[in-house]
Amino acid sequence: MGAQAHRATRSAKPAEVQHGWYVVDAADQVLGRLATRIATVLRGKHKAIFTPHVDTGDYVIVVNCEKVRLTGRKREQKTYHRHSGYTGSIRSTTAERLLSGPYADRVLRNAVRGMLPKNALGRAMFRKLKIYRGPEHPHAAQQPEELEIG
């Protein structure tokens, strides 16, 4: 085999993955850049043990989701749609109305969901995302670290 020893690629096993907790303040953060960073941490791509078929990601807590920044005129022009499944029941609303209403978390949720895999593993990763309005969150017991954005 020559002078170099053969090394096999190491694959992480679900039982040996340590899931950390991070907290992010979304106030004055650009939506897309914030969502990209969150999706990376949820997938576990920031870790050396990243394995595509194993959930190696960490939990992410987002506070102040209603204060996220949208560039250009997206706040007035970007539309979000939801459908109950019944004929003619599609509902559309703007980012402005979502962010000022009780469902401000949906803007960030939709952005992050679109960046995760579209399969059972992606859904498991998405469940590790916790989004809250205002600066308070109920996860102090997990001792989350501050996540650097940018």
Per-residue pLDDT tens digits for 43-91: 999 999 999 999 999 999 999 999 999 999 999 999 999 999 999 999 9
**Helix (H) and strand (E) counts in the chain:** 5, 6
Fold of 19-70+102-146: Ribosomal Protein L13p; Chain: A; (3.90.1180)
Q: CA-to-CA distance for 34 and 110, rounded, in angstroms?
A: 12
H helix runs in the chain, sequence order: 31-43, 74-77, 95-100, 105-113, 120-126
User: Which two tokens mark 46?
Assistant: 């920031």
Share of the chain above pLDDT 70, in %: 97
Q: Six-digit token pair at 142?
A: 């997990």
Report the distance separating Cα 65 and Cα 93, nearest Å.
17
Residue 31 confidence (pLDDT): 97
Q: Per residue in 8-26, pLDDT tens? A: 888 999 999 999 999 999 9
* Whether residue 103 has pLDDT greater than 70: yes
- Confidence at residue 9, expressed as pLDDT on a 0 to 100 scale: 85
What is the pTM for the complete model shown?
A: 0.91
The string of pLDDT tens digits covering residues 124-136 is: 999 999 999 999 9
